[in-house]
A and B are shown apart, each in its own frame.
Chain A
Amino acid sequence: MDQQGQNGLLATYREGWRNRSVVGIAFSALLVSFYVVLYWEHKVHQHLGIAPLTAISEAAGLRNRWYLYGALYSVAMITGGIYYLRRHGNSRYNRFRITVNVAIQVALGFTLPFIMPLFGGQELYFSYFWPLKYDYLYPQTLADLPLYFALYTVVGSLLAAPVLAVLYGKRWYCSWVCGCGGLANTFGDPWRHLTSKSTKSWRFEQVSVHLVLFIAIATTFLIGLDSLIGAEHPTFHRIVVGEHWQDWSIKSFYGFTVGAILAGVIGTGLYPVFGPRVWCRNFCPMAAVLGWVQKIGRYRIKVKPGMCISCGNCSTYCEMGIDVRSYAQADESFTRASCVGCGMCAHMCPRGVLKLENTWDRSEDKERQKLSVVDF
């Protein structure tokens, strides 16, 4: 039977592994070590003489450790998806969303890139766009890609993604397609209540996410410039791209800090400590862009006036750390740039106060209750 709200009560705070207990922190440490080995196995090999992930990949008949990661990722998505559906799957929105997201990732994020080389093709990821997949707009990359895929990337990144976000909010990507978001919503679901709702964490997010976006745009710009003038300016070329791929350069710095540390080690490894959307909320440049677009688009969360009992279920289960309650108790419909439209606030609300919708009508948003908690 289709329902909309949470079916039965959750026992989240009575389960230790979900609440930064020793078990939770140990699990987080394990995830962090996994990512460190994954990204820097050559260093591990240098110092300890072992390459565990490569060894396992070979034993499993996989081409390299990245395929092993893809396989583990798919398993985590699917088992996490089942966990999610068992807990929140009584609502159609949740059911459709998670199924689509897992299907897209398993098909386009793992199976297709795995199969393409078998048929002599390049490994291509149809589910990622610039600036999340930051190197897809580098001129050199574009030149090496098959023409149809180069077109797909350019049109997808610069036109389709923002237009869809105007029409449906950033959720079309962050909650229905994206691999980082998908992992957060499935494998990361047990920890969604841990995302901080404090004003401090909101301030941090506003600075950090725009900083990364700035670095992403600047890096893309410099690398583009390099393809025009790099040949005549060897120093510029060395600083921006480097002679060899392992040299320190702006390009490799971005890959190291943003791609490996922020998205992998911190973004996923710390799920059990800071909640599942650490990367999406604080660092993802794609989220920053789509967030701006979302603010001028149709998407919003509608608040039914005068019905909120300030219980806090919405804020607690918001994985992006949005204090939804502060809007609800002030009878204020709202659009927040960081909202990924996961729908969990509406699902958890025991009084049916919240509703995600796409509309140009902003009339109610203006009827704000002046005297309320959110004025402070």
Chain B
Amino acid sequence: MVAAMRIVIIGNGVAGMEAALAVRNREPSWDITLVSEESDHFFSRTALMWVFSGQMSHRDIEPLERDAYERLGFRRVRARAIGVDTERRQVSFAGGQEPVAYDRLLIASGSRPRPGPWPGSEARGVGHFVTLQDLDWYEREVHGGTSLAGGPPRPRLHATGRSSDSPYRFREVAAERRGRLAQQPAVIGGGLIGIEAVEVAVTAGLRPHFFIREEWFWPIALDPKEALWISDRMAQHGVEVHLEHEIEALDTDSDGNVVAVRTNRGRYPSDCVVIGIGVTPNTAWLAEAGIDLDDRGGIVVDEGLQTSVTDVFAAGDCASVRWFDGTRRPEQLWYTARDQGRVAGRRLLGDAPRYDRGTWYNSVKLMDIEYTTAGLVNWKLDGEENWFFEEKGRVRSTTRIVTQGGHVVGFNMLGRRWDHSVLTRWIEERRTLDWVLRHLNDAAFDTELVPRLRVRRA
């Protein structure tokens, strides 16, 4: 019989919640406290775009029923943590809230949007698309308010103890100040959050500017041919795609509302600007805690997700873990946060599991084009070769298979659905290109009635 522990978890995102569930699953009587500045309920950050468009309600993006805290006996603290005293084992809060003591602590404080480095980045009408509060701001700018299913419950509860630096602060809305909704949004940053912010603006009937610094869209994942297809599709939907644009400043009017984006190539009038240039670990509040951070601000953890301090663990976007290539950095993904949360939960219970990241994979939808990737793509490996096939029939798709030394090391697939678990297995089994092409449809995950892919070998 283990003595009852007081578990405190900072963050009720997927990492924090999975850990809390893992603990509760085994220890019905332990004291579990979940701290969140952002929201009362656990919700899926990945789903913000659908709330914006009206495809889902706030309730729909919450994976648990709203009585989950009561039913599972989780203590809810809705406040901003401002420090950890690892000597006295307690967490302190803004707004004069009592500190909370712990025996074991998990930090799962996620990421925060990287702020824009340009003049005007903090103007009224400029924001991000990462937190619930960002969603609230963007909806007010474009739609004038949340959709019919209502806002999140008690959204402004934590107004006390807010700071102008918090990623969970509410922003002033230029549309409300002007008395006119945004007509010409602009999105800066050609990554995944950027394309989501663009797509939802299109759904609202607008024609957003999309500023991308690189030569083509999303070069870490796509090659020029693949990216061209995506850019064309965006243009068809009314997006003004601007490649190779360096932002210089965001111009404001005398009232402080944003009015234009200035780049090295011109000035583009805009009345609402979303900056989507990436996220960084949300760990500034730990500066004084004496917990080791890496140079990106990620919390350094060992393979069991323990930080440099005993009984303090970290999981999810804020943790800097060792990757398969030996480097150390945060993994800013939903499913890795989920898996890390499960491992951290077992650490909080006193087990000694290891967090082991297998072969890389991911999937997203770029506008309406589905994308699956696995293994090493666009790594510019020594002697790598890329086999490319474009299908233009009833189904339009592209298939790119990367080989090195005769073995398949990566897949990049657009337009069809693939089972990445089969693709990663083939990579681990070091299959040849020939073998893979013969068996390719064993990894097909298309819906029924969709004709199978037939590749022609050049």
Contact = CB atoms under 8 A, between A and B. Distances in A.
Contact of B55 (A3, A9, A306): A9
A175 interface: no
Contacts of A310: 14, 44, 46-47, 63, 334, 338
A102 to B, nearest CB: 17
Nearest to B61: A312
B448 A357 contact: yes
B115 interface: no
B47 A4 contact: no
Given A312-B60, A313-B55, A9 B47 contact: no
B364 to A, nearest CB: 7
B365 A2 contact: no
Interface string A1-19: 1111111111111111001
B63 A326 contact: yes
B200 A9 contact: yes
A10 B53 contact: yes
A4 B54 contact: no
B148 A21 contact: yes
A304 B72 CA distance: 28
A372 B54 CA distance: 28
A199 B63 contact: no
A4 B203 contact: no
Interface string A89-125: 0111100100000000000000000000000000000
Nearest to B343: A371
A86 interface: no
Contacts of B21: 371-373, 375-376
Interface stretch (A138-146, A211-219, A273-281, A346-354): A346-354
Interface string B23-62: 0110000000000000000001011011001111100111
B363 interface: yes
B458 interface: no
Contact of B25 (A4, A306, A351, A371): A371
A11 B54 contact: yes
B303 interface: no
B264 interface: no
A8 B63 contact: no
Contacts of A9: 49-50, 53-55, 199-200, 203
B384 interface: no
A252 to B, nearest CB: 41
A75 B174 CA distance: 47
A371 B61 contact: no
Contacts of A356: 447-448
Contacts, number: 172
Contacts of B53: 9-11, 14
B365 A350 contact: yes
B335 to A, nearest CB: 5
Contacts of B339: 306
Contacts of A26: none
B139 to A, nearest CB: 10
The CB with the most chain B CB atoms within 10 A, among A8, A14, A376, is that of A14
Contacts of B143: 14
Contacts of B17: 373
A92 B334 contact: no
B116 interface: no
A52 B335 CA distance: 59
Contacts of B365: 5, 350-351
Interface residues of B, number: 64
The CB with the most chain A CB atoms within 10 A, among B50, B72, B334, is that of B50
**Main SS of chain B's interface residues?**
mixed
A325 interface: yes
B65 interface: yes
B18 interface: yes
Contact of A311 (B47, B65, B450): B47
A285 interface: no
A131 interface: no
Given A1-B394, A13-B56, A311-B46, A355 B445 contact: yes
Contacts of B235: none
The CB with the most chain A CB atoms within 10 A, among B61, B345, B396, is that of B61
Nearest to B64: A373
B50 A5 contact: no
A321 B58 CA distance: 17
Contact of B421 (A1, A4, A21, A306): A306
Given A2-B394, A93-B447, A96-B449, A312 B63 contact: yes
Given A14-B147, A311-B50, A372-B18, A5 B370 contact: yes
Interface string B335-353: 1001100100110000000
A6 B49 CA distance: 14
The CB with the most chain B CB atoms within 10 A, among A7, A311, A356, is that of A311
A307 B22 contact: no
B446 interface: yes
B420 interface: yes
B335 A11 contact: no
Interface in B235-273: 237
Interface in A318-376: 325-326, 329, 343, 346-347, 350-352, 355-357, 371-373, 375-376
A304 B365 CA distance: 16
A284 B449 CA distance: 29
A17 to B, nearest CB: 10
A55 interface: no
B450 A16 contact: no
A93 B421 contact: no
A246 interface: no
A309 interface: yes
Interface in A284-324: 304-313, 315-316
A31 B22 CA distance: 48
A4 B370 contact: yes
A316 B147 CA distance: 15
A46 interface: no
Given A96-B449, A316-B56, A11 B63 contact: no
A9 B447 CA distance: 19
A306 B449 contact: no
Contacts of A316: 55-57, 60
A19 B147 CA distance: 10
B328 interface: no
Nearest 7 pairs between A and B by C-beta?
Answer: A14-B54, A352-B417, A311-B47, A9-B53, A13-B147, A309-B46, A11-B54
Given A5-B365, A14-B143, A312-B56, 19 more contacts: A2-B450, A11-B53, A13-B147, A13-B148, A16-B148, A92-B449, A198-B65, A306-B335, A310-B44, A310-B46, A310-B63, A311-B47, A311-B50, A313-B50, A315-B60, A316-B57, A371-B25, A373-B17, A373-B63
5 contacts: A19-B149, A92-B450, A309-B334, A311-B61, A351-B365
Interface of A: 1-16, 19, 21, 90-93, 96, 193, 198-199, 304-313, 315-316, 325-326, 329, 343, 346-347, 350-352, 355-357, 371-373, 375-376
